Chains A and B, each alone.
Chain A
Amino acid sequence: MLHARVVDISKEKIELLRAEKFIASSKCGASIYFVGTVRDLNNSKKVIAMTYDSHDALVIKSFEEIYQSSIKKFNFDNSVVFIEHIKGKIKLADISILIAVACKHRNQAYELSRFFIEEIKKKTPVWKKEHYEDGDSEWLEGNPIQKN
């Protein structure tokens, strides 16, 4: 079971509670929450905020494809995955991404959570622009998108 969404920060925040409700299942004995947040320093520059841009339709498509790949790769019974990625300008320590997974066993949950964040880094069209203390801002260099 998958929940996948792009959250527009001008309308709402990413909430852990939503993930908790979604992944709750008596069939699962282990849950892992991966929470990505905005860090205050990058390449010796003091960061004060981050803007996330996304191609929403492709983001959702990539989440669904990653989920299908995970089923093929791991074939874990009853696993549940909740992913939300932010869009727009957020402050330090705000949540940019939340991946919550629930599986029968802890090793499965760790493996699935790690698989999702690593695949998202390679396949999900999201871009980051850092805003610095001195008023400057810069799009971060990324890696060419990988097709499934």
Chain B
Amino acid sequence: MKLELYGASRDFSKESFIIFNLEEKSTIKELRVAIINFIEANFQNNESYKKIVNSSAFCSDKDEIVNDNYKISNNEKVGIIPPIGGG
């Protein structure tokens, strides 16, 4: 699946997305764990990045904010929505 990056999570990659190979019907909860593992492996366990992941919401490719039990379908694009602060 493709994780689209927004806001502070853009610092996780030079691209605007990260590809994760998750099992079919993995949940947002499992995706969150996969992102934390990615940060531990690539950013020396960066605590502020992990805090961003743990405080983020996620958005399905139907542009809906989804909860941790949402099942991600194959090849679905999911957006990570870090804490917001526009205006």
Contacts and interface: CB of A to CB of B under 8 A. Distances in A.
Our verdict on whether A and B bind, yes or no, reads yes
Interface of A: 36, 52-55, 57-58, 61, 85, 96-97, 117, 120-128, 139-145, 147
A86 to B, nearest CB: 9
Interface of B: 6-8, 10-11, 55-57, 59, 63, 65, 79, 81-87
Given A127-B8, A139-B7, A54 B86 contact: yes
Given A125-B59, A139-B8, A140-B85, 14 more contacts: A36-B87, A53-B10, A54-B6, A58-B63, A120-B87, A121-B84, A121-B87, A125-B6, A126-B85, A127-B85, A127-B86, A142-B83, A144-B56, A145-B65
A147 B65 contact: yes
B6 A53 contact: yes
A58 B6 CA distance: 12
A34 B14 CA distance: 35
Nearest to B5: A53
A97 B87 contact: yes
A129 to B, nearest CB: 8
What 7 A-B pairs come out closest when comparing CB atoms?
A126-B86, A127-B7, A142-B85, A142-B83, A139-B8, A57-B63, A142-B84
A144 B85 contact: no
Nearest to A144: B83
A36 B85 CA distance: 13
B59 A55 contact: yes
